[in-house]
Structure 1
Amino acid sequence: MFYTSQGYIIYAAILLLLLIFLGWLYYGTVYFLTEEVFTYRSGFFNGKIPVNQIRKVVASENLWYVGLKIALGAKNGLIIHYNKFDEIFIAPEQKEAFLSQLVSLNPAVKIEKE
């Protein structure tokens, strides 16, 4: 099978775009927790959750049943339950500090371990 230089350029461009996307996910995944809102961003996924709408946070190793996953780690993350049926999986670097700050901002949040 013979490959042309044009074929290699197309493959290289696709590979470069994939690497840029993965780098964007890796370096662009951030979480911000302020007094009023929890903000998350990972690549083109981003959003805001009002702190007073967060009902429960579950420290979990099982992320398979969670809807939206905004985390780089595949395990040992936090499942945030908010609104009535919404949930999101995140994996902050300092989970305990995140949880203590969240509880100080919203004392009604239930913290569970799975």
Structure 2
Amino acid sequence: MHRFFSTKNTFTLIILWAVVLFFITTIVLNYVIGNIPLIPLYIVSIVTGFMVWVIFDTRYVIKNDNLYYRSGPIRGRIDIKKITSLKKYSGLNVPVLLKPALDTKGFIITYNKYDDVFISPKKSEQFIEELMKINPNIKII
């Protein structure tokens, strides 16, 4: 089993932490004032919890012949033998729907026929080596 944590873009972290601090400040100020409706409090608390969860728990694990990714509540598994290509990508607008990553630089993994996911492992060279050990037919673009 090989574990790889996500790289973290400073800009992304600043935005995520700013939103978390804004939500916490809003909750505290409304509590102090005494104007705290329960349903919005629960919703804001859950969203804040999810954001903190994503910040601290975004990683990728290669175990047996599978690549497991997780970013907070977003989790998935990819059969490494079905990966067709690994494309290095850098930019704010990643052309992929599923992005369990905290950086704008990473890889677009294409698997099955049309499925893809964007990830950003810290030790990218070691990550590619581990994938290639399992599936040497992966095209590196």
Q: TM (normalized to structure 2)? A: 0.68
Among residues 66, 82, 100, which one is paired with 1:70 in the alignment?
A: 100
Counting only pairs closer than 5 Å after superposition, residues 1-114 of structure 1 correspond to structure 2 as 4-7=33-36, 15-62=44-91, 63-73=93-103, 75-112=104-141
**Which of the two has greater strand per residue?**
1
Matched residues, number? 109
- Return the alpha-carbon distance in structure 2 between the equivalents of residues 67 and 17 of structure 1: 23
Identity %: 32
* Contact 1:35 1:51 (C-alpha < 8 Å) held by counterparts: no
- Return the alpha-carbon distance in structure 1 between the equivalents of residues 65 and 102 of structure 2: 25
**Which of the two has greater helix per residue?**
2
More contact order relative to length (CA 8 Å, sep ≥ 6): 2
Q: TM (normalized to structure 1)? A: 0.82
Unaligned runs of 5+ in 2: 1-29
Q: Which amino acid aligns with 1:38?
A: L
| CA-CA distance at 1:35 after TM superposition | 3.3
- Return the alpha-carbon distance in structure 2 between the equivalents of residues 45 and 17 of structure 1: 15
The one-character-per-residue Cα deviations of 1:48-87 (angstroms, maximum 9, x if unpaired) are: 11110000000111453112111011x1111000000000
- Return the alpha-carbon distance in structure 2 between the equivalents of residues 111 and 35 of structure 1: 21
Q: Give the superposed CA RMSD.
A: 2.2
